[in-house]
Structure 1
């Protein structure tokens, strides 16, 4: 991916690659069908461009037999890319799809959570309890549909052939809050213990005793795509209803520093596991 690639462009490229693979086409087959040069499609899928033509997106979606709603979303991104926009964007029109697709491609995920267990680590019963308490979910079918999406999301990240490095700092408040009751939380805590034993997952608990700390405020997730450098990374700020993406070098560097300092305030990975094991003993 190109250095400093804006969030929407990255989302666009990920989706187009996915559609090509679903259509069973190689790059060579695709550029020949389009009448493009090989270099044009290669540059396109590498994100090596300044502006995106809506006509090019339409042509790609046509040969990939993309769903109409997906095609409309991607064409809209192409059209918007030709306008002057702020360096930050509220992407409620592509949520949660954008976050899920970006997360599934990330090689490094750094997550800070205050009140809840991180979504990647939630058990089915924990998720169900959260959804049943939501004012925005009204039927059992809605609950089941969202559960399946979240479980597939977890598998696509944690169980893929080359999983990302996941570093999570979880506030003690999220561990202590009895979502779904005692048994549900006991199962949830045990799940955290099991996950913490995986080689590419680090879970640290931020104890109440840490007092004031660098990350006090809004939960956030850092997604890295090109190693651990700031270039090519994205910050996602979670809010109650919508979310915000930040992709400037300044904001990425600032949130990396916040996360690093918060890790320093938290228990070590080993001490965090011991703390969790005492809770389920």
Structure 2
């Protein structure tokens, strides 16, 4: 069992229930229309249950378990998971709580950013400078909570006995753009260099010399799991952030991430470039 399983974040448990219910329906070769007729659910309700976009209610779970002819052991297992999915946990002030739950449970994370350093690799000073630019009027107490949330996220990932496989790719613009002044940016780059040489991760930089490349207009994170849930892509940007779980989307983004890795400097070359930019500040 993966290390992530013992962490049991509510989002993961909710998605595990969703995947199990869909798997049981498909094993019986029941169509969604047949389930709707038998349960009286609306199409949107069943869809949200099977995608994990809503927590299933116990009466609805019982109805589906009976319809699918599940034995007592499986019903008890799913009921327990539903209870865990309802568990209240600390919600981050800014970061998407579903994202942070899944990040904590992932067995592999492939992350690509264009012009900023990704959250898991940020120093506190860099985070403050970034948020002060995006939200100039953010209160000091809220800013402190953001910093604490980021620090906990980083500790939860990097201090796990068995951290996930971590691959980070960023455009050279992310290390060249000075955020928060020269001292802050130098500290951020020195932090990246230390993580690259000592941390449980792979960090690569796409140099300006490659010119145009297929990742210039987007940023995304691919999360893979050893759990009985589907891998997914988190796409961020100006439009509302979203998770993609369709197989064709996963294949497209995995192919794109592979292309970006091939265009990047290797980890040793990337570390040298980061160090060089830091020393020039």
Instruction: Show the 5 A alignment for 1:158-173.
Output: 158-173=158-173
- Alignment partner of 1:40 is 2:75: yes
The alignment of Structure 1 onto Structure 2 pairs a total of residues equal to 214
- Alignment partner of 1:255 is 2:257: no
Q: Which runs of 5+ in 1 are unaligned?
A: 2-7, 16-35, 47-56, 71-93
Q: TM-score, length-normalised on structure 1?
A: 0.68
Aligned-residue offset at 1:38: 3.8
Find the counterpart in structure 2 of residue 208 from structure 1.
208
Q: CA RMSD in A?
A: 3.0
- Alignment partner of 1:154 is 2:189: no
Counterpart of 1:226 in 2: which secondary structure? coil
Aligned-residue offset at 1:262: 0.6
Q: TM-score, length-normalised on structure 2?
A: 0.68
CA distance 1:9–1:144, change in 2 (3 Å)? closer
- Say whether the 8 Å CA contact 1:234–1:246 is kept in structure 2: yes
Distance in 2 (CA, whole Å) between partners of 1:138 and 1:240 is: 20
Distance in 2 (CA, whole Å) between partners of 1:132 and 1:277 is: 26
Distance in 2 (CA, whole Å) between partners of 1:38 and 1:65 is: 20
- Say whether the 8 Å CA contact 1:137–1:143 is kept in structure 2: no
Deviations 1:19-69 (A, max 9, x none): xxxxxxxxxxxxxxxxx94432335668xxxxxxxxxx4xx37xx9945xx
Counterpart of 2:134 in 1: which secondary structure? coil
Distance in 2 (CA, whole Å) between partners of 1:65 and 1:233 is: 22
Aligned-residue offset at 1:9: 6.9
Distance in 1 (CA, whole Å) between partners of 2:192 and 2:80 is: 37
**Structure 1 runs of 4+ with >6 Å offset:** none
CA distance 1:220–1:274, change in 2 (3 Å)? same
- Say whether the 8 Å CA contact 1:11–1:101 is kept in structure 2: no
- Say whether the 8 Å CA contact 2:117–2:175 is kept in structure 1: yes
Find the counterpart in structure 2 of residue 78 from structure 1.
none
Find the counterpart in structure 1 of residue 264 from structure 2.
266
Distance in 1 (CA, whole Å) between partners of 2:259 and 2:212 is: 11
